[in-house]
Structure 1
Amino acid sequence: MAFADLAAEKTQGVDYDFLVLDRASAVAIVAPHGGWIEHGTSELATAVAGDDFSLYLFEGLKPKRPHSELHIPSEYFDQNRCADLVSRARIVIGMHGRADGDDPETIWLGGLGKELRDAIAAALEAAGFKAITSGHRLPGEHKNNICNRGINQAGVQLELPKSLRDALVANPQRRALFSKAVRKAISDHLAKQGAA
């Protein structure tokens, strides 16, 4: 399913909406399954974007209901304002939610930007979170994954379990710890590239 299929069946402003903050940044933070699709990802993407990174949110608007019909897989997510924003960013970070399964705490990291992926994982671990970069089922390595469509064609995908997302939304201090860790890894990475 592509965005045109969704838009043909659903109504913007009723079923879904999106937010685009183009801050002409080298970094774009995207939550393509925000709002009530993968609840908590909009809040976490917004926290990581802060006041300086560009931000894109695609959000399901109807609370407390499944939104599987609004879930466009990341490699097919082609909403034009999102595609345009990420195409101009050096680094794209995709913020996603996953089911807890048998692990309600660990953040799964993926994407083709493996150096940054590993740096974010290390920063999250240092901040007291659990994070892994391999051995999970959501590697985010498809070249068309929205996180891999920036200038460098190598971004990072974070998959947070529902219990952790709920806890971070409910706890501003812990959410700030999370966003600070991710932002520091990104800023250090940019500085190493001479793009700060």
Structure 2
Amino acid sequence: MDKYHSMKELQNETIENEDWEIITEDRDSNVTILAIHGGGIEPATTELARVIANDGQFNYFAFNGMRTKENNELHVTSINYDNDIAMDLVKTSESAITIHGCLGEDEIAYIGGKDNLLKERIVEELSQIGIEVKEAPSHMSGTQDNNIVNCTKNGVGVQIELTSSLRKSLFKNNKFNRKSRMDESNWDDKMYDFGQAINSAIN
């Protein structure tokens, strides 16, 4: 259960640039890539979202937990994600993709959301680079209309959940602690391949 019931509540009761930071780029794109549980909340989601967004020059939003511990308290579920900056980007986009992290010993990407066509393309492209892809189970299906990813102009988006094992494999040292994530020379080719695969699916 989330400690905070909305982003507005979280932002009122915590300290920006101490507990968390927001990094955002509005590139006037029809596509927005988001890591709404970034930084230390769901590690590696910010880095991957940034690679995808930079590759395609898409809009980018990351909410990064900055604490040394208890970043999980900064998790607000996607259906309660009422951050104005993120919502404004999504609402003006035709496509949105959120990058999330889940638990898991196997390297799996679970694909959810309501954009069935883009989901199919993502499955195809990720499979081609050797990523195991599965349909997201019901508790992370991302199909609710009020999930931020589905608040696009078209009312659909894609939610990608990467297991902890898959996220660690995006770094050369197979760790996703802050030091490992901040050192871009530690980012594995797999991170960039994943980013290119998502770009191929979008385009």
TM value normalised by structure 1: 0.90
Structure 2 unaligned blocks of 5 or more: 173-186
Give the corresponding residue for 2:63.
58
Give the corresponding residue for 1:69.
73
Aligned mates of 1:127, 1:96 — CA distance in 2: 20
Aligned mates of 2:70, 2:123 — CA distance in 1: 30
Aligned mates of 1:28, 1:149 — CA distance in 2: 11
Decide which of 181, 186, 191 is 2:202's aligned counterpart. Answer: 186
Give the corresponding residue for 1:192.
none
Aligned mates of 2:108, 2:190 — CA distance in 1: 15
Please tell me the residue identity of whatever aligns with 1:175. Answer: M
* Residue 3 of structure 1: how far off its partner (Å): 1.1
Structure 1 unaligned blocks of 5 or more: 188-196
Q: Say what the alpha-carbon RMSD is for the aligned residues.
A: 1.3
Give the corresponding residue for 2:53.
49
Give the corresponding residue for 2:24.
20
| 1:177 equivalent in alignment to 2:182 | no
Aligned mates of 1:66, 1:146 — CA distance in 2: 24
* Residue 134 of structure 1: how far off its partner (Å): 4.7
* Residue 172 of structure 1: how far off its partner (Å): 2.5
Aligned mates of 1:126, 1:92 — CA distance in 2: 22
SS at match of 1:56: strand
Cα distance change, pair 129–106 in 1 and its aligned pair in 2 (3 A): same
Give the corresponding residue for 1:193.
none
Please tell me the residue identity of whatever aligns with 1:13. Answer: N
- Could you tell me the percent identity over the aligned residues? 33
Q: Name whichever of 132-141 and 50-59 sits farther off.
A: 132-141
Task: For residues 131-172 of structure 1, give each alpha carbon's deviation from its aligned partner in whole angstroms, at most 9, with x where no partner exists.
Answer: 012545311001111110111110000000111111113343
Contact 1:121 1:133 in 2 (8 A): no
SS at match of 1:43: helix
Runs of 4+ deviating beyond 4 Å: none
User: Counterparts of 1:144-159 in structure 2 under 5 Å?
Assistant: 144-159=146-161
| 1:38 equivalent in alignment to 2:42 | yes
